Structure 1
Amino acid sequence: MTRIGIIIGSTRPGRNGAAVAQWVHDVARQRTDADFEIVDLLDYKLPHLDEVYPPSMGQYQQPQTLEWARKIASFDGFVMVTPEYNHSTSGALKNAVDFLYNEWNNKAVGFVSYGSVGGARAVEHLRLIAGELQMADVRSQVALSLFTDFENFSTFKPNDFQRDALTAALDQVVAWSEALEPLRTK
């Protein structure tokens, strides 16, 4: 069965990302074409990149990197739930992505973002990063507005049409993850 990780891309106290990721998971687990698991960056104590060798060499030495690598390697694709901070993604998500290289290769990735303009600029940056990591980023995405999909900017209440956007993104992530499987098994 295809395995998709739903990564909570924020570690900020009072973050909106956990509620958004739970919504993604609640919708996703109704599907029968893949297994979905929430991956919370808070569960992985990743300091600012502290490996001696570049991630592309795959010579991880730190225990937290090895644990993170095992988790990411266990998935066929991802949905990254990202806030937008200062026209980009969170530093915590960028750092977590930067720890690894091969574990991301030939896997699909979709994005669910949130912010004052739906997190669109965070996703633009993540798409560039995904390209460098040899990930296939899918076109469909969910862009949640802090003004219309959250009450008081903190209580998540997505508009009904967001579920359709999520379904489209999940359809693409699962299909592309399956299509890329021969490249991962080489």
Structure 2
Amino acid sequence: MIRIAIIIGSTRPGRRAVAVARWVKEAAGRHPAVKAGDATVEVVDLAEYGLPLLDEAVPAAFGQYSNEHTKRWAQTIDSFDGFVFVTPEYNRSMPAALKNAIDFLYAEWRNKAAGFVSYGVHGGTRAVEHLRLALAEVKIADVATQVSLPVFTDFTFTDPTDPTDPGVVTPGEHQEPTLFRMLDEIIAWSGALKPLRNTAASTAS
């Protein structure tokens, strides 16, 4: 079974990422592989881990974590085979909290697959471009298909003039099929990379 984490990449109060992640999980439940029990999806919320700015003395590549929050985060990420990163776009990039969470770990990310669901004024596409570069350095294989949710077309707001209104996710009809294609790729790549993960795990032990 392929285990996929839907990572909520924003910790900001009032973030829209929670609603987006909820939509991803609900829609993913209709994916054939998930319905058949060949894959599972689970939401992982960065806000629940309380990670400070990177405070490990030893670089993550050495795997010598000293802080309990790092060990807890590492245990969670290590348990998954692939990821869907849900990210907004902040100033043409990903949220600092997401980049910080990536930087805490190394081996736990390695030889796994990832896809992206982004949102923002421009659909969050520029955040994903930076995210792809960061994930390449920790040896995550990112798939080509991504879901982009422009706030003007894929959200509904009670008060469009209220910047604190998180809105409701109302994706266009094309978004779920796109999400399914992305999940197809994540599941296939996660399975293909499994021998590398097994080899790395046996070497580490």
Query: Fold conserved (TM > 0.5)?
Result: yes
Instruction: Give the secondary-structure state (helix, strand or coil) at the position aligned to 1:61.
Output: coil
Q: How far, CA to CA, are the matches of 2:117 and 2:141 in structure 1?
A: 15
**How far did 1:45 drift?**
1.0
Does the alignment pair 1:112 with 2:125? no
Bigger shift: residues 21-30 or 3-12:
21-30
How many angstroms apart in 1 are the aligned matches of 2:19 and 2:172?
A: 14
TM-score for the superposition, normalised by structure 1: 0.98
Q: Which residue of 2 aligns with 1:95?
A: 100
Please give the alpha-carbon distance, in whole angstroms, between the structure 2 residues aligned to 1:13 and 1:164. 30
**CA distance in structure 2 between the partners assigned to 1:34 and 1:58 by the alignment:** 28
Structure 2 residue runs of 5 or longer lacking an equivalent are 161-166, 200-205
Q: Which residue identity lines up with residue 64 of structure 1 in the other structure?
A: H
Which position in structure 1 is the counterpart of 2:194?
181
CA-CA distance at 1:156 after TM superposition: 1.3
Partners of 2:77 and 2:90 in 1: CA distance: 24
Query: Structure 1: how far apart are the matches of 2:79 and 2:29?
Result: 18
8 A contact 2:23–2:169 mirrored in 1: no
Looking at structure 2, the residues matched to 24 and 156 of structure 1 have their Cα atoms a distance apart, in angstroms, of: 10
* Letter matched to residue 17 of structure 1: A
**How is 1:30-179 mapped onto 2 (pairs within 5 angstroms)?**
30=30, 31=34, 32=36, 33-152=38-157, 154-179=167-192
Gaps of 5+ in 1: none
Find the aligned partners of 1:155 and 1:35 in 2 and give their Cα distance. 25
Residue 29 (structure 1) shift: 2.2
Measured in 2, the distance between the counterparts of 1:35 and 1:142 equals 19
C-alpha contact (below 8 Å) 2:9/2:17 kept by paired residues: yes
Number of the residue aligned with 1:8: 8
TM-fit CA distance, 1:27? 1.4
Deviates more, 1:146-155 or 1:66-75: 146-155
DSSP-derived class of the 1:140 partner:
coil
Which protein has the larger Cα radius of gyration, Structure 1 or Structure 2? 2
1:40-94 CA-partner distances (Å, limit 9, x unpaired): 0111010000000101110000000000000000000000000000000011111
Instruction: Please give the alpha-carbon distance, in whole angstroms, between the structure 2 residues aligned to 1:41 and 1:50.
Output: 16
RMSD, aligned α-carbons: 0.9
Deviations 1:122-176 (A, max 9, x none): 0000110111111100000000001100123622111111111111111101110
Aligned to 2:163: none
TM-score (norm 2): 0.89
Which AA in structure 2 matches 1:65?
A: T
Matched with 2:17 is 17
